[in-house]
């Protein structure tokens, strides 16, 4: 990383102008709060400052199966106690009339089905527990 | 007839798009909205706005009798249906006609003929337009469909007969996965269109999607406005459209356009429409005709300089199109990208949130069509498209460069969205070289993964976060204080 000595220049067109006093480079930053993390646009980069993705990826391999999007449960293929193999189709969700399949993230037994057919769920809601 | 007042039976960016043309033509507009949409711009930019109440879409934007009643209450002369919703619903068009209201679109017969995917292909073939091999039969039994799929040869595309917009569309790569994919397509078809009839088609392995913009009046003028290439798609839905197509030669362009005109003139079409073709190995096949204005129509407006909504209104009031085919020129290059609330790095699943910073640009020949403004929430009730960004420049290379800059200027902060993903597609060497097949996003999946953000940029972001509460005036206040304290 090149040397940084940052200075606040003020606002321009809804963005915050920041200058690196060493290189003289100007960054026009748009930044907003989104549920505890920051959504940022700087020059040609857009990103979340505290990425929520790392947390999500972990739970995909260890924790319960969670909904990747807000939507409706339109099909449930398993019930409590069923043996499943990694990749088995557990349930089908729908949002914006698009179907999305939830598949088992590992081999195991279904410990709990936390949703009902027709139920509307939020993103990151617990769907099915496999032990 | 002279249309003086129009009800727009739609919402979001397309409602605003229609309002803009109406304002230029001196036509009053009525918009409709459902409860909970009061904050959205389309409820405030029209001359009149009427609430449809609450409930599912069939109670609101798809409720024909309710909308016809509002038309009568508001004494409108005509209805513009936009795209989606009731835009290709023959019953809506007939109900309006019965109520003495002009439907700005084709005749009910036109809609019926082209809305039937089987009938439309038969018609196209009957006037000598090439079609893709497939099965469009009435027998919908699994055995029959399976044997037809075998006959066509895998991979086979399974499509909702009543479908559109990629919904109810699945690919079966082999016989083993055919019945699973069929079930899924049928379920989506049933949910989206209330009809689970299916058709099968040969799935071409390296196709492009190229379409021709059409416009016909009631005086026998059937014109075309050249092509749009819309090959860049995800989940069978377009995300980038451009005109001209990087692949078409002038001779091929003329051949396709002539085929398209053959269809509109032979069926006695009225209004705006789009003839969609699949293009592969210098051959093209008729796919379907959309009997409405398309999402991507601004691309055509940018290269031809024509206001397509204005023409729709003129031909709906039985005027002649005020120019001829040879007056229409395709100049420069236009690109449109569709900005979606979705996560391209997680299978393009829809996301929700509130638009907290939209952005702005000072570039010329850049058009942002959006139905949202800052502070609006994106809910899952409607399509996740939040905006269309369209640019024009003298050639394709410059149009791509301009779009990159325009996307930097419009980040749509507040939810995970596809702005960065679009930039990565536009910057990919295969896109730049015009090697745009419909399989693009899958083929180049690895190249299109998000890059690592440099530490320096993260440091700048953390530093800027400290000044988030600062308003524009704050600097001038402190400057005033500095001046006041006698520093100058």
pLDDT tens, residue by residue, B355-412: 999 999 999 999 999 999 999 999 888 889 999 999 999 999 999 999 999 999 999 9
CA B61 to chain centre: 18
DSSP B380: T
- Residue A88 CA: distances (Å) to CA of A113, B115, B189, B370: 15, 37, 24, 40
Kindly list the residues from chain A whose CB atom is less than 8 angstroms away from the CB atom of residue B235: 98
Is B413 in contact with A8 (Cβ distance < 8 A)? no
Is B347 in contact with A100 (Cβ distance < 8 A)? yes
Q: What is the mean pLDDT of residues B128-139?
A: 91
- Give the model's pLDDT for residue A96: 67
Cα–Cα distance for residue pair A81/B228, rounded to 1 Å: 53
Q: Hey, which residues 450-469 in chain B have their CB within 8 Å of chain A?
A: 453-468
- Give the model's pLDDT for residue B480: 41
Q: What is the mean pLDDT of residues A103-122?
A: 87
In this prediction, residue B472 has a pLDDT band, given cuts at 50, 70 and 90, of low
Apex A112 CA angle, A106 and A115, nearest 5: 105
Q: What is the mean pLDDT of residues B296-303?
A: 98
Other C-beta atoms within 10 Å of B362: how many? 7
pLDDT averaged over every residue in chain B? 93
- Give the model's pLDDT for residue A62: 60
Q: What is the mean pLDDT of residues B28-34?
A: 98
Q: Which of B288, B166, B279, B172 is nearest to B231 (CA)?
A: B279
pLDDT at B133 exceeding the cut of 90: no
pLDDT digits (tens, 9 = 90+) for A60-70: 456 788 888 88
Cα–Cα distance for residue pair B149/B325, rounded to 1 Å: 42
Half-sphere exposure of B29 (CA within 13 A, CB side): 26
Q: In sequence order, what are the beta bridge partners of B357? A: B413
Contact A43, A29 (CB under 8 A): no
In this prediction, residue A54 has a pLDDT band, given cuts at 50, 70 and 90, of very low
pLDDT at B485 exceeding the cut of 70: no
Cα–Cα distance for residue pair B383/B61, rounded to 1 Å: 13
Q: What is the mean pLDDT of residues B454-466?
A: 95
Cα–Cα distance for residue pair B223/B281, rounded to 1 Å: 27
Gap from B65 CA to chain A (nearest CA, Å): 24
Burial of A82 (0-12, 13-18, 19+ CB in 10 A): middle
- Give the model's pLDDT for residue A124: 78
Is B413 in contact with A10 (Cβ distance < 8 A)? no
Half-sphere exposure of B243 (CA within 13 A, CB side): 23
In this prediction, residue A94 has a pLDDT band, given cuts at 50, 70 and 90, of confident
pLDDT digits (tens, 9 = 90+) for B63-120: 999 999 999 999 999 999 999 999 999 999 999 999 999 999 999 999 999 998 788 9
More confident residue, B446 or A120: B446
Cα–Cα distance for residue pair B174/B250, rounded to 1 Å: 38
Is A74 in contact with B357 (Cβ distance < 8 A)? no
Dihedral angle sign, alpha carbons of residues A118, A119, A120, A123: negative
Q: What is the mean pLDDT of residues B47-57?
A: 95
pLDDT at B44 exceeding the cut of 70: yes
pLDDT at A59 exceeding the cut of 50: no
Q: What is the mean pLDDT of residues B224-243?
A: 96
Return the structure tokens found at B58: 């069939």
Please provide the DSSP assignment of B212-249 as one string: EEEEE-TTS-EEEEEEEEEEEEETTEEEEEEES-SS--
Q: Which of A13, A7, A38, A49 is nearest to B408 (CA)?
A: A13
- Give the model's pLDDT for residue A120: 83
Contact B54, B29 (CB under 8 A): no
Containing A46, the helix (H) or strand (E) segment is strand A45-48
pLDDT at B448 exceeding the cut of 60: yes
Residue with tokens 């976060």: B465
ipTM: 0.83
Q: Is B353 within 8 Å of chain A by CB?
A: yes
Determine the 3-state secondary structure of B153 from DSSP.
coil
Note the pTM of the prediction, 2 decimals: 0.83
- Residue B332 CA: distances (Å) to CA of B164, B249, B304, B395, B403: 30, 15, 9, 5, 14
The reply to whether B235 belongs to the active site is: no
Determine the 3-state secondary structure of A103 from DSSP.
strand
- Give the model's pLDDT for residue B477: 43
pLDDT at A9 exceeding the cut of 70: yes
Of A18, A32, A44, the CB nearest to B357: A32
Q: Which of B400, B375, B311, B395 is nearest to B104 (CA)?
A: B311
Of A39, A41, A70, the CB nearest to B380: A70
Containing A75, the helix (H) or strand (E) segment is strand A71-76
pLDDT digits (tens, 9 = 90+) for B159-207: 988 866 677 889 999 999 999 999 999 998 888 888 889 999 888 989 9
Containing A88, the helix (H) or strand (E) segment is none
Is A11 in contact with B472 (Cβ distance < 8 A)? yes
- Give the model's pLDDT for residue B314: 98
Q: What is the mean pLDDT of residues B467-473?
A: 71
């Amino acid at each position: 990383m090149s040397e940084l000595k940052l200075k606040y220049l003020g606002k321009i067109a809804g963005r915050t102008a920041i200058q690196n006093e060493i290189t003289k480079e100007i960054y026009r930053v748009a930044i907003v709060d989104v549920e505890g993390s920051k959504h940022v646009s700087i020059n040609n980069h857009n990103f979340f400052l505290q990425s929520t993705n790392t947390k999500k990826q972990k739970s995909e391999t260890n924790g319960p199966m969670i909904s990747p999007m807000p939507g409706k449960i339109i099909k449930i293929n398993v019930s409590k106690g069923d043996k499943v193999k990694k990749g088995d189709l557990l349930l089908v969700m729908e949002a914006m009339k698009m179907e999305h399949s939830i598949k088992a993230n590992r081999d195991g037994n279904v410990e709990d089905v936390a949703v009902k057919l027709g139920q509307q769920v939020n993103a990151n809601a617990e769907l099915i527990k496999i032990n | 007839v002279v249309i003086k007042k129009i009800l727009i039976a739609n919402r979001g960016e397309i409602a605003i798009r229609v309002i803009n043309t109406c304002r230029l033509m001196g036509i009053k507009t009525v918009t409709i909205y459902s409860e909970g949409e009061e904050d959205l711009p389309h409820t405030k930019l029209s001359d009149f706005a009427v609430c449809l109440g609450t409930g599912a879409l069939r109670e609101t934007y798809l409720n024909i009798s309710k909308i016809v009643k509002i038309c009568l209450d508001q004494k409108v002369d005509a209805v513009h249906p936009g795209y989606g919703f009731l835009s290709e619903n023959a019953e809506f068009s007939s109900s309006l006609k019965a109520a003495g209201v002009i439907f700005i679109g084709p005749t009910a017969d036109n809609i019926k003929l082209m809305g039937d995917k089987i009938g439309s292909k038969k018609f196209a073939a009957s006037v000598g337009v090439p079609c893709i091999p497939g099965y469009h039969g009435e027998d919908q039994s699994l055995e029959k469909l399976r044997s037809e799929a075998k006959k066509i040869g895998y991979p086979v595309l399974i499509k909702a007969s009543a479908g559109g917009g990629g919904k109810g569309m699945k690919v079966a790569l082999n016989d083993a996965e055919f019945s699973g994919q069929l079930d899924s397509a049928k379920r989506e078809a049933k949910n989206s269109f209330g009809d689970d009839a299916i058709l099968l088609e040969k799935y071409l392995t390296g196709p492009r999607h190229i379409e021709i913009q059409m416009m016909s009046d009631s005086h026998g003028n059937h014109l075309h406005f050249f092509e749009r290439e819309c090959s860049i798609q995800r989940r069978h839905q377009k995300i980038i459209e451009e005109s001209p197509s990087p692949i078409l030669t002038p001779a091929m362009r003329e051949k396709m356009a002539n085929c398209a005109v053959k269809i509109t003139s032979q069926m006695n079409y009225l209004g705006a429409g789009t003839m969609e073709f699949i293009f592969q190995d210098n051959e093209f096949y008729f796919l379907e005709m959309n009997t409405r204005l398309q999402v991507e129509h601004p691309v055509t407006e940018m290269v031809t300089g024509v206001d397509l909504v204005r023409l729709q209104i003129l031909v709906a009031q039985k005027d002649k199109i005020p120019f001829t085919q040879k007056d229409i020129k395709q100049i420069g290059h236009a690109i449109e990208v569709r900005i979606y609330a979705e996560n391209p790095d997680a299978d393009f699943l829809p996301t929700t949130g509130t638009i907290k910073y939209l952005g702005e640009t000072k570039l010329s020949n850049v058009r942002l069509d959006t139905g949202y403004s800052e502070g609006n929430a994106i809910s899952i009730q409607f399509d996740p498209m939040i905006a269309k960004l369209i640019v024009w420049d003298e050639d394709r290379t410059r149009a791509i460069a301009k779009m990159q800059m325009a996307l930097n200027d419009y980040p749509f902060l507040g939810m995970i969205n596809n702005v960065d993903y679009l930039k990565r597609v536009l910057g990919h060497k295969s896109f730049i070289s015009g090697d745009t097949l419909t399989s693009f996003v899958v083929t180049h999946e690895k190249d299109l993964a998000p890059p690592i953000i440099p530490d320096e940029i993260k440091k700048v972001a953390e530093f800027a976060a400290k000044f988030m509460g600062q308003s524009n005036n704050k600097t001038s206040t402190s400057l005033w204080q500095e001046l006041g304290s006698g520093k100058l």
